[in-house]
Amino acid sequence: MNRKFSKLVLFACILLLALAWGAVTAAEQANMPKAKEFRIERSMSKEAMACLQCHKTEHPGLFADWAGSRHASANITCLDCHQAEEHDADVSQIHFKQYERGDNPWGSKEYRVPVAAAVTPKDCSRCHPDEAVQYSKSKHANTTEIIWKIDPWLNNGMNSDLERQSGCFYCHGTVLKIKDGKLDPSTWPNVGVGRVNMDGSLGSCTSCHTRHRFSVMEARKPEACGQCHLGPDHPQIEIYTESKHGDIYAAFGDDYNWNASPGTWTPGVDYRGPTCASCHMSGAGTVMTTHDVTERLSWELQAPLTVRPQDFKPFPAQSNWQEERNKMQEVCMQCHGKAWVEDHYTKMDGVVGEYNDVYFKPAKAKLDELYEKGLLDKSRFFDERLEVEYYELWHHEGRRARMGTAMMAPDYAWWHGFYECKKRFNNFMEEANHLIKTGEKAYVAKDYPNATGDTTKPKEIFGQ
C-alpha cells in the first residue's frame, strides 16, 4: 500500500515537473527572437507580388533596399514606379521575356505587365508633384540644354563619344534611347541630373535619392552632392569639407536627426551645422523647402563672367536675384546674426567684382583681339595653348576663387583660387602679347587626340 502510494506520488511529481517545464519553455520561446527574414504579407496585386518575389530571388540586394525604404512601409511596390502602358516609348521589350521562363514560378504569362526600366521624374510626380515641378525649373534638370549651348568640348567635338559617356554625361545626363528592345548601352546606365527621358521629362531623382532605398537621409548628406560637385572645376565637396560648416558636420554629424520628415528638418533642433541640402533645398524659418537647388542663388558663380541668375543667357532664371538672396540669408540667420550674414555677402560681392574686372574681362578682351588679328584659329577650341589657359582661368581657378569665398573656404578662395588665377593670367598675357607684338600665329595641335565627338545637338532638346 505504501509502495503503491509512493509510486503515485512520484508519478504525480514527475508529471507536474514536466508540465511546469513545458510552460516555461513555451514562455521562453514566445520571447525568443525569430529568424530575420523578409515576408510579404500586405495586400497587393498578384502582378506586384510577382515582381517582388522574382526580384527577391534574382536581385536580393535590390529587394533588401526596397524592403528597408519608406516606400515599402507605405506599400509602394515595383509596379507603382515602373508600370507603363504598352505603347509607351520607354517600355522594356526585353523584360517581357521574363514572363516566359520555366525555372521561376513568378515568371509566367499570368503576371505579364509592361514596365519601364528607367523611372523618371514624371513617374515620381504621381506621388511627388510639387517636387517634380520644382526640380523641372532647376539648372540641374536643364543642364543638357545648357551644356550644348555653351560647352566647346561638345560643340567642337573635342572629346570622343565614349569619353563623354563615361565622364561628362555621367553627371549631366544622357539622352535615353531604346535599342533592340532594351535601353541603348550608349545611353545607359545613367542617373545624370539632366538626363533626357523618353517620356519627355528631364532628370533623375535617383541622382540624389539612390534606388531602391530612396533615402531622405542620403540626400541630406553632403556626400550625395559630392558625387558630381568635386574636382578642379567645381570642388564644392572639398570646399565644404574645409569650411566651418563641414568641420561641424564631421564632428557632430552622427548626432543629426537625418530622418526627420520632409519639411520639418530644423536647424538647431535636428542638426547643428548645415549641409548642402540645408542651405540650398531644406526649409528654415519662413523659407519653404524646394527641389530647385538653384533657386536661392544670387550670382552665377560657375559662369565665365559672373552675372545675376536672370542674366545667364543659356538658361535665365525666372526669379529675382534679390528675392532669392533674401531667402538664403534667412536660412543663414537661423544660426548667424544679421550683421555676420550681410557682411559675408558684402565680401562675396567684392570678390565677384574683382574677379570680373581684374581677371576675366582683360583676358577675354585679349583673346578676342588674338582672334580678330588671326593669331589664334577660331575654328576649334582647346587645340591652341592660349585657349586652354583662358578656359582654365575661369573654369578652374576663377570658379574656385568665387565658390571658395561663397562657401567660406579660405584655402580655396586664395591658394587654389586667386593665387592660381594670377599665375594663369600672367602666363596667358605674356604669350598673348608676344604673339601680338611679333605677329606670329599660335601653334595649333595638328594631332589633337580623340577629337571625334558628334557635334549634333540632341533633337529631343533642340528639335530637328
Contact (CB, 8 A) for 320 and 327: no
pLDDT value of residue 192:
97
Q: How many CA atoms lie within 13 A of 376 on its CB side?
A: 25
Identify the CA nearest to 223 among candidates 203, 253, 188.
253
- Give the burial class of 278: count Cβ atoms within 10 A of its Cβ; 0-12 exposed, 13-18 middle, 19 or more buried: buried
* Strand partners of residue 116: 91
**Coil, strand, or helix at residue 267?**
strand
Region of 183 on the Ramachandran plot (φ > 0 left; ψ -120 to 50 alpha; else beta): beta
Identify the DSSP state of 196.
B
Query: How confident is the prediction along the chain (464 residues), in pLDDT tens digits per residue?
Result: 566 556 665 666 666 665 555 555 554 555 555 555 655 555 789 999 999 999 999 999 999 999 999 999 999 999 999 999 999 999 999 999 999 988 889 999 999 999 998 999 999 999 999 999 999 999 999 999 999 999 999 999 999 999 999 999 999 999 999 998 889 999 999 999 999 999 999 999 999 999 999 999 999 999 999 999 999 999 999 999 999 999 999 999 999 999 999 889 999 999 999 999 999 999 999 999 999 999 999 999 999 999 999 999 999 999 999 999 999 999 999 999 999 999 999 999 999 999 999 999 999 999 999 999 999 999 999 999 999 999 999 999 999 999 999 999 999 999 999 999 999 999 999 999 999 999 999 999 999 999 999 999 999 999 98
Query: Locate cell 513545458: which residue?
Result: 22
Cell of 413: 578662395
Torsion of the alpha carbons at 346, 350, 351 and 352, rounded to the nearest 10: 100
pLDDT value of residue 356:
98
**Residue 423, Cα to own-chain centre: how many angstroms?**
33
Contact (CB, 8 A) for 363 and 390: yes
pLDDT value of residue 414:
98
pLDDT by residue (tens digit) across 32-79? 555 556 555 557 899 999 999 999 999 999 999 999 999 999 999 999
Contact (CB, 8 A) for 131 and 291: yes
- Give the burial class of 456: count Cβ atoms within 10 A of its Cβ; 0-12 exposed, 13-18 middle, 19 or more buried: exposed
pLDDT value of residue 102:
83
- % of the chain surpassing 90 pLDDT: 88
Radius of gyration of the chain (CA): 30
- Contact residues for 346 (Cβ-Cβ < 8 A; gap 6+): none
Rounded to whole angstroms, what are the CA distances from 277 to 7, 78, 240, 449? 79, 28, 12, 39
- Residue 183 has phi, psi (to 5 degrees) of -60, 135
Cα(289)–Cα(276) distance, integer angstroms: 13
- For residue 170, what is the enclosing H or E element? helix 169-172
In the chain, where the domains are located: 48-118
The 10 Å Cβ neighbour count of residue 275 is: 26
**Which amino acid is present at 373?**
K
Contact (CB, 8 A) for 420 and 123: no
Cell of 272: 547643428
pLDDT value of residue 20:
55
pTM of the model as a whole? 0.88
Q: Is the peptide bond before 209 cis (omega within 30 degrees of 0)?
A: no
Q: What is the DSSP string of 58-102?
A: H-HHHHHHHHTSHHHHTT--HHHHHB--TT-TTB-TGGGGGGG-S
